[in-house]
Amino acid sequence: MRPEKLVGMANQISLFMESKTDRDEALEGLAAHINDFWDPRMRRQFVDAVSSDDDLPARDLVRRALPLIRLSREDDDLPGAPKSPAGSEPINPAHRD
Amino acid sequence: MTIPLSRTIDRGTKRGTSETMVTLTVDGTEVTVPAGTSIMRAASEAEIAVPKLCATDMLDAFGSCRLCLVEIEGRNGTPSSCTTPVADGMVVHTQTDRLKKLRKGVMELYISDHPLDCLTCAANGDCELQDMAGAVGLRDVRYDSVAEKGTHFQIRNTAGENNPFYLPKDQSNPYFDYDPSKCIVCSRCVRACEEVQGTFALTIAGRGWDSRVSAGTSLDDMLSSDCVSCGACVQACPTATLVEKSVVEIGTPERSVVTTCAYCGVGCSFEAQMRGDELVRMVPYKDGKANRGHSCVKGRFAYGYAEHPDRILSPMIRDRIDEPWREVSWEEALGFAAKRLKGIQAEKGRRSIGVITSSRCTNEETYLVQKLARGVFLNNNTDTCARVCHSPTGYGLGQTYGTSAGTQDFDSVEHADVVLVIGANPTDGHPVFASRLKKRLRQGAKLIVVDPRRIDLVKTPHVEAAHHLPLRPGTNVAVVTAMAHVIVAEGLQDQAFIDERCDAEAFADYLEFVSDPRHAPEAMEEVTGVPAETLRQAARLYATGGRAAIYYGLGVTEHSQGSTTVIGIANLAMLTGNVGIEGAGVNPLRGQNNVQGSCDMGSFPHELPGYRHVKHDDAREIFESRWGVKIDPEPGLRIPNMFDAALDGSFGGLYCQGEDIVQSDPDTSHVVAALSAMDCVIVHDLFLNETSNYAHVFLPGSSFLEKDGTFTNAERRINRVRRVMAPRARYADWEVTQLLAAAMGTEWGYTHPSEIMDEIAATTPSFAGVTYGLLEEKGSVQWPCNEVHPEGTPMMHVEGFVRGKGRFIRTDYVATEERSGPRYPLLLTTGRILSQYNVGAQTRRTANTIWHDEDRLEINPHDAENRGVRDGDWVRIASRAGETTLRAQITDRVAAGVVYTTFHHPDTQANVVTTDNSDWATNCPEYKVTAVQVAPSNGPSDWQERYSDHAEAARRIDYAAE
Ligand code: SF4
Ligand code: SF4
Ligand code: SF4
Ligand code: FES
């Protein structure tokens, strides 16, 4: 998934959480929301992307939440999600010209 | 439940509602009824049917036909029993010599002006006039004077001149005829249109001998009048004057099966009236608790799609989507699908395939589809089209109240004093509820409408909103929070309720937040476009006007802050103590028929049935021990995530039941690219739809007439769907899913949907008490239905909130990224209209197209003039996602700066324009706000042309050699 999109989604959640007065609650709320609603490959791609690219426009709270994002317990017994191909070229050979 | 045809007895008038009981004697039988009940009704409850013509228990008594006369001991004269209330100790006689004679006279007069063509009449055998002639023993008709004066039914009078009283049949409505020559002017139709439907399309024009039922003005026919074709008048008519065309064509039905409409979230109960296995007509069921005998044009008439020649009745497969379809056997299709799905999993991992459940299918079918993902694919990649409409409701109400469902039943609206409608257009989207709402408004309840568009409810005959807040699209949170600000700032909150029922700490925090002057309507005016004073008045009315109910729709949820708005709405209701009492509450108006059910059944990727997160071991264990598998504890992909993952290459197979995601999901080109990237797309539907253009397997679906099951409507009401004919493509949908599971190697062994419901009850606490037996007995139940509430729960949160204490949550307004700017200066918002349904796959295949044959773009005269657009012109509408063309309709229903369209027709492709922005919490797409530009154009866009060429190619079928 495009890193910009994942970061955009995380920023949106962050904006809601940031209105909480308790900063810890906001941080935990953000991480919990991502852990509860994002599939493991999205979380993995998200953490990889944000931790490796300081230029991604992630909000401060989003960056601080990274260590709290759970990386899947079972990732190991599954073939990892392949890296994004350049652009969004269809992988189905039938659709490549 | 097959009920003997016709009729649930018509008792003539409604029962009184008084608590005081009154006992009287009718023809020697004692009967006790509530004070205020009519004599006619009391007699009927004592099994005595007083002859009647103008009375029917759907309507208020009228007293015009004088057939229902009775004698009362100690009173003079012969009062009409439909209009005379009972009194204690009254002694009534319904059959005396005097009455018999009078009634015969009345009937004779009626019949002297009536054509005696009973034998060839559509109502023959189902006609109250005929019945009454029989009941009073009418044997001959003398009034020759009538014939001389000119009857209403003869084309020429006795002298051979044209009869000025004769009016020809009006057959303009596609579903029913109006034959004035058979009318007895009892006004039942006129009153039904007023009282039941609330449209006021019919009147009695003229007086005395001249009086006629007339639709609209004298220049109108049924079709051009305001009539919305709900059918209430047809049902009310005691003769063949107003009659379904299907009855004219087929004849009268012989039995009737109670079932549930498969269109919108109101979930009306219908009698499917049959002759053999032919459906003669659908008649709203009087004992249906959601609709109370009323219906709209879709459920009542638009069922013809089930027999449409476009239906695909044979499974089909193809290797690649650029090949034509090949018809194959069920075995081959399922084997092909299973092999591909397994292949994808072997190559890309367990989490690389998934399912989409349908909000149009039954609970049982939905349950099986998510079971297929969880128990056979062994992942949580299950989602439903409810994602794209009401997922924020689940999140918002879950967080604040502890359960993701509406709080009331529909009956509750009869007790409301103030009704706040936000982002919903009930007269088009939920017409039967709208009729009930309008009835309450006519009785004096106040209405507040929050909607960018001047929806019909704002001003319709005899209904006018006290306040209309025409907000800028995308600013719901700002408006709702400003209302809360006014309530708090002016000290209008219900402090006792808050102290007793709500979490004190959360409230203190919320109070601090909402009191901040930056939420004041004056401060927000700039953003919302709503005049501060109007907003203040609306807030005061909501807080102080008595029992206040909120009804909201997709105009709330389909925003980047959809979940926040739902929370804001929940806050408002808690703030004013409007939870847990009749006439109040928070009520989402669900889009499709089974949105509620599909959410309840665990369609979402993070939740097992009954809204239990998959991360909880105890919840998973219940299913694990039953199914004998390990359930994935990680949340799965949501629909938009599936598309993204497909483009990444980590997701390759999808089983999509009863949904057309290409047409209904936003940003069509993204969806199309994602589907094209998949290796196995299975579409299970009635018709080749837009999604099937990208599919490899097509499995024919069954219509709601062809299967057993249940739907759950917006009031949490579980209604039975009953099979009235055999599945045309051999299998009901639940059987197909079961066969697919078997092809993948898992045998389930269900032989009837009731067994699936038993499994749901055994695993899901809120359904614990639900069985088909109970539904048979009660008609319907509202969940939670369990040991504590064995007969279900009409109202939620009565003693306290489901989560314990109600939780206030801050609702900061965050502007959507979708802002108008120089390139895209207008805001597009979308909606639906009455006669069409969702993507229109069904309604477009019925005569409903007569009312809406294309989608139009509504644009304000000011914006139109600036762009040189005239009414009816083709215009191009472009957003950053794409562009399409359609024709413009100039109207001031939309404010300057806002444009509006529906999305019922695939050629329009309105979703080519909508973007992939979505709700922060649930990824529910932001359909309701897209920044666009509009310009005149000459016709369809390139995209539309390319798309329709491709669609045509993708639909080719190579028919198997016979
Ligand atoms: S409307 Fe009734 S009474 Fe009149 S012709 Fe038809 S069946 Fe006979
Ligand atoms: S069909 Fe409905 S709207 Fe039309 S005239 Fe009859 S009652 Fe009125
Ligand atoms: S059309 Fe039917 S319901 Fe209406 S006045 Fe005539 S007979 Fe009565
Ligand atoms: S039924 Fe009572 S007056 Fe017509």
Decide if A39 touches B, using CB distance below 8 A: yes
Q: Which residue has the tokens 């959507």?
A: B816
Query: How far is the alpha carbon of B621 from chain A, nearest alpha carbon, in Å?
Result: 18
pLDDT in tens, B626-638: 999 989 989 999 9
User: Residue type for B46, please?
Assistant: A
- Contact residues on chain B for A83, CB-CB shorter than 8 A: 648
Every domain range in chain B assigned CATH 3.10.20.740: 2-149
What lies within 8 Å, CB to CB, of B176 at 6+ separation is B222, B229, B231, B234, B242, B243, B244, B245, B301
Most confident of B287-291, B737-741, B817-821, B827-831: B737-741
Tell me what pLDDT residue B906 has: 65
Cis peptide before B784 (omega within 30 of 0): yes
Residue (of B649, B645, B653) closest to B344 by Cα position: B653
Contacts of B322 in chain A (CB under 8 A): 94
Mean local confidence (pLDDT), B786-812 = 83
Q: Are B23 and B32 in contact (CB under 8 A)?
A: yes
**In angstroms, what CA-CA distances link B723 with B256, B279, B363, B799, B955?**
12, 12, 15, 39, 30
Residue A92 has pLDDT above 50, yes or no: no
Query: Which is higher by pLDDT, B402 or B449?
Result: B449
Query: With an 8 Å Cβ cutoff, are A36 and B606 in contact?
Result: yes
Residue in B613, B641, B811 nearest the CB of A42: B641
Tell whether ligand 4 has an atom less than 6 A from the beta carbon of residue B458.
no
Average pLDDT over residues B878-902: 86
Tell me what pLDDT residue B931 has.
Answer: 84
> Please, which residues have CB within 8 angstroms of residue B701's CB and are 6 or more apart in sequence?
B657, B658, B684, B685, B686, B729, B733, B736
Of ligand 3's listed atoms, the one at least distance from the Cα of B178 is: 1
* B318-389+594-770: CATH topology: Rossmann fold (3.40.50)
In this prediction, residue A90 carries a pLDDT of 32
Chain B residues in contact with A79 by the CB 8 A cut-off are 347-349
A85 in contact with B, Cβ within 8 Å: yes
Band (pLDDT 50/70/90 cuts) for residue B218 is confident
Residue B835 has pLDDT above 70, yes or no: no
Of A2, A19, A39, the CB nearest to B812: A19
In a domain? residue A86:
no
Q: Does the distance separating the beta carbons of A39 and B636 come in below 8 Å?
A: yes
| DSSP β-bridge partners for residue B958 | B326
Share of chain B above pLDDT 70, in %: 95
Inter-residue contact A17 to A26 (CB < 8 Å) = yes
What are the pLDDT digits (tens) for B24-74? 999 999 999 999 999 999 999 999 999 999 999 999 999 999 999 999 999
Topology annotation, domain B176-307 = Alpha-Beta Plaits (3.30.70)
Chain B contact for A52 (CB, 8 A cutoff): no
Q: Is the pLDDT of residue B102 over 90?
A: yes
Count of CB atoms within 10 A of residue B896's CB? 13
**Number of domains observed in the structure of chain A:** 1
pLDDT of residue B4: 55
Question: DSSP letter string over B212-258?
Answer: EEEESSTT--TTTSS-----HHHHH-SSSSEEEHHHHHH---SEEEE
Asked if A13 reaches chain B (Cβ–Cβ under 8 Å), the answer is: yes
Average pLDDT over residues B931-941: 81
What's the rounded Cα separation, in Å, for the pair B143 and B151?
A: 11
A80, part of any domain: no
Given B380, B636, B676, which is nearest A92 (Cβ)? B676
* Global ipTM: 0.79
Q: How far apart are CA B893 and CA B454, in angstroms?
A: 5
Q: pLDDT band at residue B389, thresholds of 50, 70 and 90?
A: low
b or e along B201-212 (b: 16 or more beta carbons within 10 Å of the residue's beta carbon)? bbbeeeeeeeeb
The total of other beta-carbon atoms located within 10 Å of residue B700's CB is 24
For a pLDDT cut of 90, what percent of chain B falls above it?
40
Instruction: Identify the residue among B344, B644, B814 best suited for mutation to test binding to A, counting A beta carbons within 10 A and taking the highest.
Output: B644
Tell me how far apart the alpha carbons of residues B87 and B34 are, in angstroms, rounded to a whole number: 10
Report in angstroms the alpha-carbon separations of B219 from B110, B156, B388: 28, 23, 44
What average pLDDT score do residues B798-814 get?
Answer: 84
Q: Which atom of ligand 3 is nearest to the CA of B204?
A: 5
Give the gap in angstroms from C-alpha A53 to the nearest C-alpha of chain B: 19
Other beta carbons less than 10 A from residue B117's beta carbon: 12
Task: For residue B482, give both structure tokens.
Answer: 């400003």
Tell me which of B216 and B469 has the higher pLDDT. B469
Contact partners, residue B212, CB within 8 Å, separation at least 6: B167, B180, B183, B185, B204, B205, B206
A16–B648 C-beta distance less than 8 A: no
- Chain A residue whose CA is closest to B670: A88
Fold topology of B2-149: Ubiquitin-like (UB roll) (3.10.20)
- Can you read off the two tokens belonging to residue B150? 């000119």
Q: Tell whether the model's pLDDT for residue A66 goes beyond 90.
A: no
Q: Which pLDDT band, with edges at 50, 70 and 90, does A73 fall under?
A: low
Higher pLDDT, B814 or B345: B345
CA distances, B874 to each of B451, B663, B868 (Å): 26, 21, 11
> Within a domain: residue A96?
no
**pLDDT at B148 (0 to 100):** 65
Task: Count CA within 13 A, CB hemisphere, residue B221.
Answer: 13
- The conformation of residue B604, written as its DSSP 8-state character, comes to S
Q: 3-state class of B888 per DSSP?
A: strand
Residues in A closer than 8 angstroms to B638, CB to CB, are 37
Where in chain B is CATH 3.40.50.740? Answer: 318-389+594-770
Pairing type for strands B459-460 and B463-464 reads antiparallel
Amino acid B509 reads D
**Pairing state between β B446-450 and B467-469:** parallel
A30 within a domain of the structure (yes/no): yes
B650 is written with which tokens?
């980590």
Is residue B579 pLDDT above 70, yes or no? yes
Q: Is the CB of B53 under 6 A from ligand 3?
A: no
Q: Beta strands B418-422 and B446-450: pairing type?
A: parallel
Report for B563-572, B657-666, B907-916: range of highest mean pLDDT = B563-572
**What pLDDT sits at residue A81?**
36
Q: Check if the beta carbon of residue B610 is closer than 8 Å to that of residue B764.
A: yes
pTM summary value: 0.87
pLDDT: which is higher, B319 or B143: B319
CA of B124 to the centre of ligand 1 (A): 6
Domain that holds residue A17: 1-68
CA B548/CA B544 separation, integer angstroms: 9
User: What end-to-end distance do the CA atoms of chain A give, in Å?
Assistant: 23
Q: Is residue A79 part of a domain?
A: no
Contacts of A38 in chain B (CB under 8 A): 635, 641
Residue B127 in contact with ligand 1 by CB distance below 6 A: yes
Q: Is A82 helix (H, G, I), strand (E, B) or coil?
A: coil
Does ligand 4 lie within 6 Å of residue B94's CB atom? Answer: no
Q: Which residues of B touch A1 (CB under 8 A)?
A: 641, 644-645, 648
Please report residues of A whose CB lies closer than 8 A to that of B647. Answer: 84, 88, 90
User: What is the reported pLDDT for A61?
Assistant: 86
**What's the average model confidence in pLDDT over B752-762?**
92
Q: How confident is the model at residue B388 (pLDDT cuts 50, 70, 90)?
A: low
CATH 3.40.190.80 fits B401-588, yes or no: no
A27 lies in some domain: yes
Q: Read off φ and ψ for residue B69, nearest 5 degrees.
A: -55, 145
d(CA B526, CA B489): 20
Say which residue, B834 or B355, is predicted with more confidence.
B355
Atom of ligand 1 nearest to the CA of B111: 3
What's the pLDDT at B147?
62
Cβ–Cβ pairs < 8 A, chains A and B: 110
Atom of ligand 4 nearest to the CA of B62: 3
Residue of higher predicted confidence among A21 and B297: B297
Least confident of A30-39, B787-796, B918-927: B918-927
CB B390 within 8 A of CB B265: no
- Cα distance between residue B476 and residue B221, in whole Å: 41
Give CATH 3.30.70.20 domain extents, chain B.
176-307
Q: Which atom of ligand 2 is nearest to the CA of B228?
A: 3
In a domain, A75, yes or no: no
> B598 pLDDT exceeds 70?
yes
Residue B350 has pLDDT above 50, yes or no: yes
Mean pLDDT of chain B: 87
Written as one string, the DSSP assignment of A5-69 is HHHHHHHHHHHHHHTSS-HHHHHHHHHHHHHHHS-HHHHHHHHHHHHH-TTS---HHHHHHGGGS
Cβ(B757)–Cβ(B363) below 8 Å: yes
d(C-alpha B433, C-alpha B589), whole Å? 9
Assign a CATH topology to domain B826-954: Barwin-like endoglucanases (2.40.40)
**How far apart are the CA of B119 and the centre of ligand 1, in A?**
8
Phi-psi region of B686 (alpha: psi -120 to 50; beta: other; left: phi over 0): alpha
Does the pLDDT at position B514 exceed 50? Answer: yes
Q: Is the predicted pLDDT of residue A46 greater than 80, yes or no?
A: yes
Q: What is the pLDDT of residue B834?
A: 61
B6 sits in the region (left: phi over 0; alpha: psi -120 to 50; else beta) called left
Q: CA-to-CA distance for B894 and B829, rounded, in angstroms?
A: 10
C-alpha dist (Å) from residue B954 to B332, B694, B698, B958: 21, 7, 12, 12
**CA distances, B263 to each of B33, B42, B638 (Å):** 38, 37, 24
Query: Which has the closest alpha carbon to B301: B248, B261, B360, B264?
Result: B261
pLDDT at position B841 is 65
Q: Which part of chain B is CATH 3.40.228.10?
A: 401-588
**pLDDT interval class at B678 (50, 70, 90):** very high
Q: Which tokens sit at B933?
A: 């530009």
Does residue B498 line the site of ligand 2, with CB under 6 A? no
Tokens 């005239």, residue located? B870
Give the count of beta carbons closer than 10 Å to the beta carbon of residue B137.
Answer: 10
Task: Give domain status of residue A39, yes or no.
Answer: yes
